[in-house]
Amino acid sequence: MKRPVTALSALRYPGRLMSKKQFVFIASAQRSGSTLLKALLAVAPDVSHLSEVPFHYYHHFTAWQLKALSDKPILVLKKPSWAGEKNYPTIPPVGEHQVILLIRHPYETLISTGKMYAALQPDFWERWNYHRLLYEYWLPTYESILTHRLVGMPHTTIVRYEELTEDPIAETQRLYQFIGSRRTEGTDTYQKRSEEWTFKEDDGSDRIKSLRVQPAPIDRKNDELLSLIENEPRVNDLLDQFGY
């Protein structure tokens, strides 16, 4: 994924660079609802609605460029972890910021992740299985978040996907307050970006295109995966720390 903004392109927006920005980063595994979450936040008039931003590319000398991404005073940047990514999430040095730690139960996360990649890569299941997805992707993602000591910090908050979809109005109302938005009323509807939602930039599923929060049905038929999750102490400890 390319950088969405460079020094040259950023300089085209001097007004954005000179204005005060509040940065909000969404950290999560893939297929955990980050596209839905940032779309709901963008209902607020002072919040950006951007596609996925690989913010880990930006460091001490380039982080200033991120201010050019939007005219909005609150910039919400989401980038789920990638398989094999080290030190996730790497938050760029933008000064004052907040982090939303988004999590979804690993069963639904891995089922959805597997379906997504199998549709894109016909040989996906020849190279991967649920055991690998759990131990080489999902667990490392959230254990890395714990290693960064982000849970329980004043500038961070946890969002559980299940609660976001079951009671979106209450959750978004809480989050608008957390990020300092002028909006105080929660919402369960949202708008699409000006561009099409596409893979590796956003969730492109029919569910997200409905423009209304729709709780995903829970139907855990894969007994092998469910047993793997329920009998792994690392998973149980992690879910406990994230409030499950």
- Per domain, the residue ranges of the chain are 7-241
pTM for the whole structure = 0.93
What's the confidence (pLDDT) of residue 208? 79
Q: How far apart (Å, rounded) are the C-alpha atoms in residues 166 and 140?
A: 27
Q: What is the dihedral of CA 31, 99, 153, 135, to 10 degrees?
A: 30
135-185 pLDDT tens trace: 999 999 999 999 999 999 999 999 999 999 999 999 999 999 999 999 999
pLDDT digits (tens, 9 = 90+) for 6-50: 999 999 999 999 999 999 999 999 999 999 999 999 999 999 999
Task: Tell me which H or E stretch contains 40.
Answer: helix 34-41
Categorize the per-residue pLDDT at 134 as very low, low, confident or very high, splitting at 50, 70 and 90: very high
User: If you count them, how many residues does the chain have?
Assistant: 244
pLDDT of residue 209: 77
Asked if 217 and 80 count as a contact pair (C-beta separation under 8 A), the reply is no
In the predicted structure, residue 193 carries a pLDDT above the cut 90: no
Angstrom distance (rounded) from CA 10 to CA 216: 39
What is the assigned CATH class of domain 7-241?
A: alpha beta
Q: What is the pLDDT of residues 51-78, one digit of tens each?
A: 999 999 999 999 999 999 999 999 999 9
Q: What is the pLDDT of residue 194?
A: 59
- The better pLDDT of the pair 103, 5 is held by 103
Determine the pLDDT at residue 210.
81
With 60 as the cut, is the pLDDT of residue 81 above it? yes
